[in-house]
Amino acid sequence: MKNHIPLSGVVPIIPTPFLADETIDEPALCRLIDFAVDAGLQAVCLPAYASEFYKLSDEEKLKVVSIAVQQSAGRIQIMAQSNSPSLKIAIQLAQANIAAGADIISLAVPRIFSLPEASIKKYLSQFFAAIPATPVLIQDFNPGGASLSVALINELRKEHPNFKYLKLEEPLCAVKFEEIIAATEGAVGVFEGWGGLYTMELIPIGISGIMPGLGVSDILQKIFTLRKNGETNKAFELFERVMPQIFFSLQNMELFHYAEKELLMARGILDNSIARQAAYTPEASSVQYIQELNQRVVQLVADMKTRY
């Protein structure tokens, strides 16, 4: 595996910026990569759910990764999400992303319909085997049931050395995370998704990091560092101030796209909050409240420079 530096801390999801005609805004995407670099983060991920990947063509998915790789110029690792319920297409996307220069590949477990774990193991095993020299992160979000079992995670870890990371998005997951870390002897870095909602609970048990939206990534990186270093009060103070924005936006994935892009506008990085149709159109009261929440995040960023 080529000079892979293990990930720790915040790995944000890069949103896909659009112009008024819903084509990809390439200069804006470059600014988002630069923002992550300037925040001192190790890696970014795209195109994921928070990138509206499900609204992008396969060509566009590859395009945003290629732009990110070129703009990063080796300054930050690029994790390329290569999702498809079709194993054949997922492998093709992953191989194309690797050819474009992606450092890590991310793959979501196919959850459109219920599958027995034996079928999921076959799907994942063949995916790992198709790109053996590239580190892989497996994401599992399964609203309809349990995520991957600890036993399966450990089997895959033993059989495929490029299975380096796991991202789970579920409540009450501390015990399971502890079991995964113990069973895999720390060989699989565990990341929390869902915006970083359970960050403060999970850092002490040994998670490798969190994968939130980009707009709060620098704040959460500071929280992660403070919490790991035992500066609990400062970590909680920051977490309690950013949490209202995260919690409100996560009520609906399409609402998250709007709130995230509005926050990046408030922070001077994006010019608009356009999401591809079909998109969530918040009512006037929600628009006003999101603006209020985002301004509080902007103030928090300013306070961080002098108080933390």
Per run of 10 residues, the mean pLDDT along the chain (length 308 residues) is 86 98 98 98 97 97 98 98 97 98 98 94 98 98 87 98 95 93 97 95 97 98 98 97 98 97 98 97 97 98 91
In a 10 Å sphere around its CB, with 0-12 CB exposed, 13-18 middle and 19+ buried, how is residue 272 labelled?
A: middle
CB 91 within 8 A of CB 106: no
| 301: in domain | no
| 4: in domain | no
The three-class DSSP label of residue 142 is: coil
Domain range for 94: 9-228
| 242: in domain | no
Which whole-number Å values give the CA distances from 171 to 44, 113, 168, 307, in the listed order? 24, 21, 9, 32
pTM of the model: 0.97
| 41: in domain | yes
Q: Please give the pLDDT value at position 186.
A: 94
Q: Please give the pLDDT value at position 2.
A: 64
* Tally of domains in the chain: 1
Residue 52, Ramachandran bin (φ over 0: left; ψ between -120 and 50: alpha; else beta): left
Q: Please give the pLDDT value at position 145.
A: 81
Q: Please give the pLDDT value at position 143.
A: 79
Q: What is the CATH number of the domain that holds 79?
A: 3.20.20.70
Closest CA to 1 of 99, 185, 131: 131
| 60: in domain | yes
| 281: in domain | no
What is d(CA 296, CA 127) in angstroms, rounded to the nearest whole number? 43
Q: Please give the pLDDT value at position 28.
A: 98
Residue 110 DSSP one-character state: P
What is d(CA 219, CA 225) in angstroms, rounded to the nearest whole number? 10
Q: Please give the pLDDT value at position 31.
A: 98
CB 51 within 8 A of CB 44: no
What is d(CA 110, CA 58) in angstroms, rounded to the nearest whole number? 17
| 270: in domain | no
Question: Which residue ranges are tagged as binding site for pyruvate?
Answer: 211
Q: Please give the pLDDT value at position 308.
A: 80
| 293: in domain | no
CB 63 within 8 A of CB 24: yes
Question: Which residue ranges are tagged as binding site?
Answer: 211
How far, rounded to the nearest angstrom, does the alpha carbon of residue 174 sit from its chain's CA centroid?
19
Q: Please give the pLDDT value at position 174.
A: 94
What is d(CA 30, CA 19) in angstroms, rounded to the nearest whole number? 14
CB 152 within 8 A of CB 122: no
What is d(CA 113, CA 248) in angstroms, rounded to the nearest whole number? 28
